[in-house]
């Protein structure tokens, strides 16, 4: 291999010296054409459109979840299907934002189940603290032990136990 490379370099050097001291410069396209590879573009990268962008809407075929993420299941799959259809799955459950929760007006956290894990980051400024995690249950207001913020759970739909299994499953 090295012999071929060195002989190729000697041939190039000989051509250069015979033609005079001028700069030997070939474009990438010229090099590809001389080697019979003209169909290859000069750039190794090609532009692709993002999977869930408006640019990809110009494609005549309708995308499926398998095209975007073949291993998506459960809530992740439902969320991707909704996004491909132009809807959002969790529109009725945005992150709780609002004033500091007090006993009279607690911070409301929404859930599809009768209980949910909630994290309290504290209030603004000096009242801010490391996140304290706790279970928030339906009809049981909770007070953060660090900042005394109150939380209540609002169940969306029928509710239910998040850890419940169907009666058909026996372990």
Q: Which segments are annotated as binding site for Zn(2+)?
A: 120, 129, 144, 147
Q: Are 154 and 111 in contact (CB under 8 A)?
A: yes
Of 154, 163, 158, which is closest to residue 136 (Cα–Cα)?
154
Of 97, 102, 96, 72, which is closest to residue 84 (Cα–Cα)?
72
3-state helix vs strand vs coil in the chain, percent to 5? 30, 20, 55
CB-based burial, 21-34: b 16+ in 10 Å, e otherwise: eeeeeeeeeeebee
Task: Pick out the residues of the known binding site.
Answer: 120, 129, 144, 147
Q: How many CB atoms lie within 10 A of CB 136?
A: 19
Q: Are 132 and 149 in contact (CB under 8 A)?
A: no
């Amino acid at each position: 291999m090295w012999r071929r490379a060195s002989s190729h370099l000697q041939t190039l050097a000989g051509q250069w010296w015979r033609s005079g001291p001028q700069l030997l410069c070939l474009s990438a396209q010229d090099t590809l054409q001389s080697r019979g590879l003209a169909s290859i573009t000069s750039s190794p990268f090609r532009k692709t459109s993002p999977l869930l962008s408006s640019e990809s809407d110009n494609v005549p075929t309708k995308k499926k979840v398998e095209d975007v993420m073949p291993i998506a299941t459960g809530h992740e799959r439902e969320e991707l299907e909704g996004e491909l259809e132009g809807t959002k799955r969790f529109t009725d459950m945005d992150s709780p934002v609002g004033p500091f929760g007090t006993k009279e007006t607690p911070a409301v956290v929404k859930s599809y189940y009768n209980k949910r894990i909630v994290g309290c980051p504290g209030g603004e400024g000096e009242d801010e603290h490391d996140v304290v995690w706790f279970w928030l249950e339906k009809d049981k207001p909770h007070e953060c032990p660090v900042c005394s913020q109150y939380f209540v759970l609002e169940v969306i739909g029928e509710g239910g136990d998040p850890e419940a299994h169907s009666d058909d499953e026996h372990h």
